[in-house]
C-alpha cells in the first residue's frame, strides 16, 4: 500500500506542475483589449528587406550617413549598409569637364585631358572645356582651401567647345599635390576634373 500512495503522490505532483506551467505560459505578454479587425491588405511583388543598422566606422569600409543624409566616401573605400541613389543629370547630355589647362591671367592658352600644373605662390588662369560648361557654374577646388578662386567667366575654344575660365591664386604655403576641380551648374549637376590641377613648388 505504501507503493501505491507514493505513485499517487508523484502523479498528483506531476499534474500540478504541468497545470502551473500551462497557467504561467498563458499569462505573459497578452493584452486585455481585443485585437482590431483586419483591414485591407497590400501585396508586394518584390519586397525590399530593411537594411541592418550601420555600425560606426572602424577604419574599414563602412561610412554611416550623417543626420542630414550626407554620406562621405573616400577614394577606394567601399560602402555597406547605406543605399545610395544617384539621380540622372538635369540636362542631357550632362555637363562634362573634358580638358584643363593653366596659363597666364592675361593670355590665351591650351588645355589637355591630362590636366596641368600650377606653382605655389602664383596667380594663374585655369581653363576647362567640355559640353555644357558655362560661366554660371560654381567652382570649388579640393584640398585645404589654399587656392582662391575668382573672376569666373564663360569662354569657348577655337573649335567652339564651351568652357569656363577662372583665376586661381595659390597661397605661398599651399600643400603640394593633385587637386580636383568641381564645377556645379545652376541646375545642381556637378562635373569634376579629378586630380587635374597639380600644385608644384
CATH, residue 120: 2.60.40.10
Q: Decide if 188 is inside a domain.
A: yes
Q: pLDDT: is 45 or 190 the higher one?
A: 190
- Please provide the average confidence, as pLDDT, over all residues in the chain: 77
- Quick: pLDDT tens for 89-143: 888 889 999 999 999 999 999 999 999 999 999 999 999 999 999 999 999 999 9
Task: Name the most confidently modeled range: 49-53, 91-95, 142-146.
Answer: 142-146
Per-residue DSSP letter, 120 = T
Q: What percentage of the chain's residues is helix, strand, coil (to nearest 5)?
A: 15, 30, 60
Residue 64 binned pLDDT confidence (cut-offs 50, 70, 90): low
Other C-beta atoms lying within 10 Å of the C-beta of residue 147: 22
If DSSP codes are grouped into helix, strand and coil, which group holds residue 150?
strand
Domain-embedded: residue 82? no
Residue 195 falls within a domain, yes or no? yes
65 in a structural domain: no
* pLDDT level of residue 72 (50, 70, 90 thresholds): confident
Domain total in the chain:
1
Is 137 among the domain residues? yes
72 found inside a domain: no
Would you tell me how many other CB atoms lie within 10 Å of the CB of residue 163?
22
Asked whether residue 23 is domain-assigned, the answer is: no
Structural domain contains residue 157: yes
Return the residue matching grid coordinates 590636366: 115
Residue 158 above 60 pLDDT? Answer: yes
The CA-atom distances, in angstroms, between 90 and each of 27, 65, 94, 137 are 60, 24, 7, 14
Mean pLDDT, residues 29-43 = 44
How confident is residue 58, by pLDDT bands cut at 50, 70 and 90? very low
Domain that holds residue 130: 99-200
Per-residue pLDDT for 32 more than 60? no
Amino acid at each position: 500500500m505504501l507503493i501505491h500512495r507514493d505513485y499517487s503522490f508523484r502523479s498528483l505532483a506531476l499534474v500540478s506542475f504541468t497545470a502551473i506551467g500551462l497557467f504561467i505560459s498563458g499569462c505573459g505578454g497578452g493584452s486585455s483589449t481585443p485585437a482590431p479587425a483586419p483591414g485591407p491588405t497590400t501585396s508586394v511583388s518584390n519586397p525590399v528587406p530593411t537594411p541592418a543598422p550601420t555600425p560606426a566606422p572602424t577604419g574599414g569600409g563602412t561610412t554611416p550617413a550623417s543626420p542630414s543624409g550626407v554620406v562621405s566616401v573616400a577614394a577606394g573605400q567601399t560602402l555597406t549598409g547605406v543605399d545610395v541613389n544617384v539621380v540622372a543629370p538635369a540636362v542631357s547630355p550632362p555637363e562634362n569637364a573634358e580638358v584643363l589647362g593653366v596659363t597666364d591671367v592675361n593670355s590665351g592658352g591650351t588645355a589637355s585631358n591630362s590636366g596641368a600644373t600650377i606653382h605655389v605662390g602664383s596667380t594663374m588662369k585655369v581653363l576647362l572645356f567640355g559640353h555644357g560648361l558655362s560661366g554660371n557654374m560654381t567652382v570649388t577646388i579640393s584640398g585645404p582651401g589654399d587656392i582662391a578662386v575668382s573672376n569666373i567667366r564663360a569662354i569657348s575654344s577655337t573649335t567652339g567647345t564651351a568652357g569656363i575660365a577662372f583665376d586661381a591664386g595659390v597661397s605661398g604655403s599651399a600643400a603640394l599635390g593633385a587637386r580636383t576641380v568641381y564645377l556645379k551648374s545652376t541646375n545642381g549637376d556637378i562635373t569634376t576634373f579629378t586630380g587635374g590641377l597639380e600644385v608644384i613648388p
